[in-house]
Amino acid sequence: MLSPSVTAVPAPPGLFAPRLRAMTVGSVALISLLAFEALAVGTAMPTVARSLDGLALYGIAFGGPFAAGVLAMVVSGIWCDARGPKGPMWHGVAWFVVGLVIAGTAPVMGALVVGRVVQGFGSGLLSVALYVIVGHAYPEELHRRIFAAFAAAWVVPSLVGPALAGLIVEYLGWRWVFLAVPAVAVPAVLLIHPGLRSLERSVPTRPAAGAVARIGWACGAAVSAALLHIGGQQRGATALALVAFAVVGLLVCAPRLLPPGFLRAARGLPTVVGLRGLASAAFVGAEVVIPLMLSRERGLSPTAAGLVLTVGALAWSVGSWVQGRIPVPASRATLPRVGLSCITIGTVTVALAVRPELPVAVAVLGWAVAGVGMGLLYPSLSVLTLELSAPGEQGRNSSSLQLGDSLFAATVLALTGAVLAAGSAPGPADYTVTLVVAAGLGLLGAVLAGRVVVGGSARPGG
The pLDDT tens digits for 283-296 are 988 887 888 788 87
Rounded to whole angstroms, how far apart are CA atoms 143 and 169? 38
- Highest mean pLDDT among 10-19, 47-56, 76-85, 117-126 belongs to 117-126
Burial tier of 456 (Cβ tally within 10 Å: 0-12, 13-18, 19+): exposed
**454: which strand partners?**
457
Rounded to whole angstroms, how far apart are CA atoms 132 and 220? 25
pLDDT of 36 strictly over 50 = yes
Which DSSP letter does residue 457 get?
A: B
pLDDT of 204 strictly over 80 = no
Query: What are the backbone angles phi and psi of residue 426, rounded to the nearest 5°?
Result: -65, 145
SS3 content of the chain, % helix, strand, coil (to 5): 80, 0, 20
Rounded to whole angstroms, how far apart are CA atoms 195 and 199? 6
Rounded to whole angstroms, how far apart are CA atoms 147 and 28? 10
Mind listing the domains of the chain with CATH numbers? 19-142+154-208 (1.20.1250.20), 261-462 (1.20.1250.20)
pLDDT at res. 350? 92
pLDDT confidence tier of residue 448, bands split at 50, 70 and 90: very high
The pLDDT tens digits for 410-428 are 888 777 766 666 655 667 7
The pLDDT tens digits for 236-285 are 677 778 878 888 888 888 888 888 888 888 898 999 999 999 999 999 88
Q: Contact 384/350 with Cβ under 8 angstroms?
A: no
